[in-house]
């Protein structure tokens, strides 16, 4: 087929619906390798929308390529934990073998090397995506072998070899090298579970009773903010709209977090069953599981699970034999944008647009997807819902603390012997978690990812709970031997700068300025007033529209608070009247090169 024919076929696959632009672009990129300017023009013409509407979506997501990115496209993770585990050496091996630098495609067009933010494999770094498939636990030797394989024209399966991971990672529809590393299975998400039982029970109740049960159990959102789930459902149920939607947010992009990947691998039925219960409570007809592009290797498997649930009448028309209870779930993939984990950005993205957070109010429960009432729940929240409905509120409330009921699935990574998944009751102290994970000689723990807090050993007796250390579920352990500012804080700061959608000025501008100031502090050229500026900007950042912008300076401000000496000992002490960063000789180098003048 010629490319215009391919475009036509794919657009027809989505009935020419412009709100399916993400799917259209993802499929087209699979077919064509990249999205050229001509392709963009043709898509716009076929969908009868302005070219700029296509352009802005394509340019927003970093997995959409405007230029060819190689027959094999390598996206090497550049997260903090990846570097802890040797990503720099792996990157060097890739460059040497491929004979090109990161950000480039090899001269023969075979290998493209690119970097990407955390891909949800922090327990098995360094890792890379190659043509959408995960290659975890890389070594320089493995990188060289992979490039050799690419040059020899191997298929992705041949490149993977054998040694698929445990559990469903070895499922014929997954065949991933990924490992689950479930170190401590808890009672909720990884507890006893038989698909369909909760639906059978719920459909005997009224929707009001279901919401009352979730409220009585005090289920709170597991994405990090901890909003009461029952209240969210109640709002959506009361809202008026032609259609109501249930979204499951599986866009986990917070570096260091990977629990949703494991839950979707081992407990997808439970997640979908949770969506069905939410739909029953709210009166929704359609559900969308929004999954980050990094987990596309689970696509066929997740579709087969949905198909199986339809066959068993757990999805589709008259679910559980209840006349009129119709609900089905489709899967929407992202294309590489951390901010889409924010619920209104996620909705925008699912509508085929740039993932820019919306102004609120109105909240999604009133006007969400396609301006209709929409519930967005985290993967783990939906699992909790299923168990609460099955085992009751008393069972659930026996676990956890006063304000944090039930269990929490934690993604633990970094400098420890046993990185992986730990499902524990809320209320565990950081110290206990470190002991469980086999961490010694710890300098700091990043709780809740870069947007959370970086705490020092003096605070290790604090507990994980909404009332103390609220967390979306990740702990990154940072050993004594790390340079906290250079290895961790700078990496996080760059991450936020890269991922800012740019809509709010403080977020767009101050993430960049903060990075520059941090770099000069690390280089020993920062001043005490630089630190004061960074602290004062936190107040300005609160005016940003979404959580990304509001927390984007947390890596810096939380380390200034908890590790002030790391900043103080690096500050420049020279004559304060002259800027330590200005280097006249360096500023004259370009002129010297152009004219032969000296730089003295």
Partner 1 sequence: MSAGTPTGKKIVATTSLAGCFGCHMSFLDIDERLLDLIELVEFNKSPLDDIKTFTKDCDIGLIEGGCCNDENVHVLMEFRRRCKTLVALGECAIMGGLPAMRNTISLQECLDEAYRLGPTVADSNPGRIIPCDPDIPRILNRVYPCHEVVQIDYFLPGCPPNADLIWDALTSLLAGKELALEYRTFKYD
Residue spans of alpha helices (H) in 362-480: 379-391, 393-397, 430-437
Q: Which is nearer to partner 1, 3 or 581 (CB)?
A: 581
Rounded CA separation 593/600 (Å): 13
Q: Which is nearer to partner 1, 15 or 595 (CB)?
A: 595
Binding mask 153-172 for partner 1 (x = CB under 8 A): --------------------
Query: Cβ of 538: how many Cβ atoms within 10 Å?
Result: 18
For 432, residues 6+ apart whose C-beta sits below 8 A from its C-beta are: none
Q: What is the CA radius of gyration of the chain?
A: 25
CA dihedral angle for residue 224, residue 227, residue 230, residue 236, rounded to 10 degrees = -110
Q: Which is nearer to partner 1, 158 or 590 (CB)?
A: 590
Q: Which is nearer to partner 1, 6 or 588 (CB)?
A: 588
Q: Are 351 and 256 in contact (CB under 8 A)?
A: no
Query: Cβ of 443: how many Cβ atoms within 10 Å?
Result: 19
Q: Does 596 bind partner 1 (CB under 8 A)?
A: yes
Q: Which is nearer to partner 1, 463 or 540 (CB)?
A: 540
In Å, how far are 120, 230, 407 from 227, measured between CA atoms?
24, 9, 16
CB of 580 to partner 1, least distance (A): 11
Q: What is the footprint of partner 1 within residues 573-592 (CB under 8 A)?
A: 576-579, 581-582, 584, 586-592
Q: Which is nearer to partner 1, 408 or 527 (CB)?
A: 527
Q: Does 1 bind partner 1 (CB under 8 A)?
A: no
CB of 532 to partner 1, least distance (A): 14
Q: Which is nearer to partner 1, 52 or 587 (CB)?
A: 587
Rounded CA separation 506/434 (Å): 36
Give bridge partners of residue 245 from the DSSP assignment: 286, 374
Q: Which is nearer to partner 1, 17 or 589 (CB)?
A: 589
Rounded CA separation 384/63 (Å): 32
CB of 586 to partner 1, least distance (A): 8
- Give me the sign of the Cα torsion angle 483, 488, 493, 499: positive
Q: What is the footprint of partner 1 within residues 452-491 (CB under 8 A)?
A: none
CB of 536 to partner 1, least distance (A): 17
Binding mask 534-573 for partner 1 (x = CB under 8 A): ----------------------------------------
Q: Which is nearer to partner 1, 45 or 513 (CB)?
A: 513
Q: Which is nearer to partner 1, 158 or 589 (CB)?
A: 589
In Å, how far are 5, 10, 43, 224, 333 from 1, measured between CA atoms?
6, 12, 16, 47, 25
Helix (H, G, I), strand (E, B) or coil at 422: strand
Q: What is the footprint of partner 1 within residues 76-105 (CB under 8 A)?
A: none
Q: What is the footprint of partner 1 within residues 243-302 (CB under 8 A)?
A: none
CB of 62 to partner 1, least distance (A): 23
Q: Are 247 and 374 in contact (CB under 8 A)?
A: yes
CA angle 169, 175, 177 (to 5 degrees): 70
CB of 600 to partner 1, least distance (A): 10
Q: Which is nearer to partner 1, 45 or 592 (CB)?
A: 592
Rounded CA separation 411/262 (Å): 10
Tell which residue, 348, 258, 257, 264, has the closest CA to residue 300. 264
Candidate list 5, 155, 240, 594; residue touching partner 1; CB under 8 A? 594
- Number of amino acids touching partner 1 (CB under 8 A): 19
In Å, how far are 105, 118, 259, 288, 416 from 126, measured between CA atoms?
21, 10, 18, 31, 15
CB of 73 to partner 1, least distance (A): 30
Give bridge partners of residue 74 from the DSSP assignment: 113, 130
Tell which residue, 351, 290, 346, 284, has the closest CA to residue 315. 284
CB of 168 to partner 1, least distance (A): 51
Q: Which is nearer to partner 1, 543 or 591 (CB)?
A: 591
Q: Which is nearer to partner 1, 321 or 582 (CB)?
A: 582
CB of 581 to partner 1, least distance (A): 7
CB of 100 to partner 1, least distance (A): 24
CB of 578 to partner 1, least distance (A): 6
Residue spans of alpha helices (H) in 223-298: 229-238, 259-266, 268-282
CB of 585 to partner 1, least distance (A): 10
CB of 474 to partner 1, least distance (A): 38
Phi-psi region for residue 34, left (φ > 0), alpha (ψ -120 to 50) or beta?
Answer: beta
Q: Does 528 bind partner 1 (CB under 8 A)?
A: no
The residues binding partner 1 (CB under 8 A) are 576-579, 581-582, 584, 586-597
């Amino acid at each position: 087929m010629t490319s215009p024919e391919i475009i036509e076929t794919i657009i027809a696959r989505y009935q020419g619906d412009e709100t399916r632009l993400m799917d259209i672009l993802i499929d087209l990129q699979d077919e064509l390798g990249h999205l050229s300017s001509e392709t963009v023009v043709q898509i716009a013409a076929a969908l009868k929308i302005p070219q700029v509407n296509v352009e802005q979506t394509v340019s927003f997501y970093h997995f959409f390529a405007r230029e060819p990115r190689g027959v094999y496209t390598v996206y090497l993770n550049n997260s903090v934990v990846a570097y802890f585990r040797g990503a720099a050496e792996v990157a060097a091996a890739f460059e040497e073998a491929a004979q090109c630098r990161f950000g480039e495609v090899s001269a023969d067009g075979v290998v493209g090397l690119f970097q990407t933010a955390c891909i949800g494999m922090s327990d098995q770094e360094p890792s890379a995506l190659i043509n959408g498939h995960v290659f975890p636990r890389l070594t320089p030797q493995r990188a060289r072998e992979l490039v050799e394989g690419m040059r020899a024209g191997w298929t992705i399966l041949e490149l993977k070899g054998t040694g698929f991971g445990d559990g469903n990672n070895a499922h014929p529809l997954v065949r991933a090298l990924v490992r689950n590393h479930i170190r401590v299975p808890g009672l909720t998400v990884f507890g006893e579970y038989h698909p369909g039982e909760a639906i059978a029970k719920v459909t005997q109740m009224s929707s009001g009773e279901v919401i009352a049960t979730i409220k009585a159990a005090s289920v709170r959102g597991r994405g990090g903010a901890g909003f009461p789930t029952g209240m969210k459902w109640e709002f959506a149920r009361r809202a008026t709209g032609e259609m109501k939607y249930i979204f499951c947010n599986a866009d986990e992009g917070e570096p260091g977090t990977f629990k949703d990947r494991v839950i979707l691998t081992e407990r997808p039925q439970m997640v979908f069953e949770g969506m069905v219960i939410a739909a029953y409570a709210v009166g929704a007809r359609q559900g969308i599981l929004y999954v980050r592009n990094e987990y596309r290797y689970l696509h066929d498997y997740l579709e087969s699970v949905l198909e199986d649930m339809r066959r068993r009448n757990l999805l589709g028309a008259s679910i559980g034999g209840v006349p009129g209870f119709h609900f089905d779930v489709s899967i929407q993939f992202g294309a590489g944008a951390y901010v889409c984990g924010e619920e209104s950005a996620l909705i925008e993205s699912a509508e085929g647009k740039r993932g820019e957070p919306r102004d609120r109010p109105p909240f999604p429960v009133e006007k969400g997807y396609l301006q209709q009432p929409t519930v967005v729940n985290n993967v783990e929240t939906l699992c909790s819902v299923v168990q609460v409905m099955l085992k009751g509120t008393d069972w659930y409330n026996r676990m956890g603390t006063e304000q944090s009921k039930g269990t929490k699935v934690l993604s633990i990574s970094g400098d420890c012997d046993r990185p992986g998944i730990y499902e524990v009751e809320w209320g565990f102290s950081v110290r206990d978690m470190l002991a469980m994970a086999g961490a010694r000689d710890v300098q700091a723990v990043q709780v809740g990812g870069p947007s959370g807090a970086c705490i020092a050993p003096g605070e290790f007796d604090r507990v994980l709970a909404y009332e103390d250390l609220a967390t979306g579920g990740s702990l990154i352990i940072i050993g004594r031997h790390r340079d906290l500012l250079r290895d961790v804080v700078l990496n996080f700061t760059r991450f936020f700068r890269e991922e800012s959608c740019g809509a709010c000025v403080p977020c767009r501008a101050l993430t960049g300025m903060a990075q520059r100031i941090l770099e000069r502090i690390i280089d020993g050229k920062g001043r005490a007033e630089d630190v004061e500026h960074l602290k004062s900007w936190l107040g300005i950042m609160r005016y940003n529209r979404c959580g990304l912008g509001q927390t984007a300076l947390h890596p810096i401000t939380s380390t200034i608070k908890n590790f002030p000496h790391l900043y103080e000992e690096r500050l420049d002490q020279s004559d304060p009247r002259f800027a330590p960063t200005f280097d006249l000789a360096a500023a004259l180098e370009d002129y010297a090169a152009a004219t032969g003048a000296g730089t003295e």
